Amino acid sequence: MFALVRRADVAEVIGAALAAKASGAGARMIAERLGRPVETVRGGLRRFGQRAEAVRRYFTVLLVDAGVDPAPPGTSRTLFADAVAAVVGAWWSMKLRWLGVGKVSPWLAACAVTGGILLAPSWPAKTINTSRP
């Protein structure tokens, strides 16, 4: 799976936008950098921001569960950045446990783990199947 449900871009593009936002960039700058419409970028950032706490919590648990010797990320300056750090941290834990995971980006892994619904309107984190990273 390489795309998120109801999103026009592939997981890497969306992940790049999320990482840029977590680093402090604004939607206009991100859109310009990625060559995407600002409304599209703003919509994805808004959706992720609305569920940042659920994403942070879900991927932190995945990070710990998958980790051989897990080290959960510390807190960042924003909840949004914490959620992005949890996604990347979970990918890192999965990569250390299952070598094949390292062949894909953190955002492709997040897409696969969530079944493509990470940014879907009804992302029910409690029903995601974590047995297939």
Question: Of 29 and 14, which is predicted with more confidence?
Answer: 29
Q: Is the pLDDT of residue 75 over 50?
A: yes
CB contact set of 58 (below 8 Å; sequence gap of 6+): 86, 125, 128
The tokens describing 99, both together, are 């070598």
pLDDT for 11 equals 78
Q: What is the tens place of the pLDDT at every residue in 81-124?
A: 999 999 999 999 999 888 888 788 898 888 888 877 777 766 65
Question: Which residues on adjacent β-strands are paired with residue 3?
Answer: 10
The tokens describing 11, both together, are 């997981």
Q: What is the tens place of the pLDDT at every residue in 37-64?
A: 999 899 889 989 998 998 999 999 999 9
For the chain, give every domain's residue range.
11-127
Tell me the DSSP string of 85-119: HHHHHHHHHHHHHSGGGGGS-HHHHHHHHTTT-TT
